[in-house]
Amino acid sequence: LGVEFVPIDQLYSEADFIILTCLATEQNRGMIDKSALSKMKKNAILINTSRGTLVNQKDLYEALDKGEIRSAGLDVTTPEPLPLDDPLFKLKNCVILPHIGSATEATRKEMMELAETNLISGLTGKKISDRIRAA
């Protein structure tokens, strides 16, 4: 595939698409801010399907409004739902979804089956599968 690990500033300056798919932590809160956005290519497209806290939305609005990056797709925002008077909604180069990135039939079926399995396991004293412990 030709994938290569690069420093974050190099990623910002070279990537056509920046897709956030990571946990939200104190270390990455607001990682996409004015500084990060200013390093991105003018044709860069930012997609966030993780957590709204990763993106400083005021800085994103300014970058999109001034054409500093091409566009953004947000499945998550802070807060959720985003108030209808938020300026991001006025931009033609920003698509905002109501946190439905996982709303496919297959994903919802798998989520339901996992919840059912874990509920039964929890009630019968068995180990709960796919348990994630927050740091």
Catalytic residues: 99
* R_g over Cα of the chain: 18
- For the chain, how long is the longest CA-to-CA vector? 57
Q: For residue 6, what are the CA distances in angstroms to 3, 20, 39, 72, 73?
A: 10, 15, 14, 22, 23
Torsion angle, alpha carbons of 97, 99, 104, 108, to 10: -160
Q: CB–CB of 60/88 below 8 Å?
A: yes
Q: CB–CB of 75/99 below 8 Å?
A: yes
Q: Give the separation between CA 128 and CA 131, rounded to whole angstroms.
A: 6
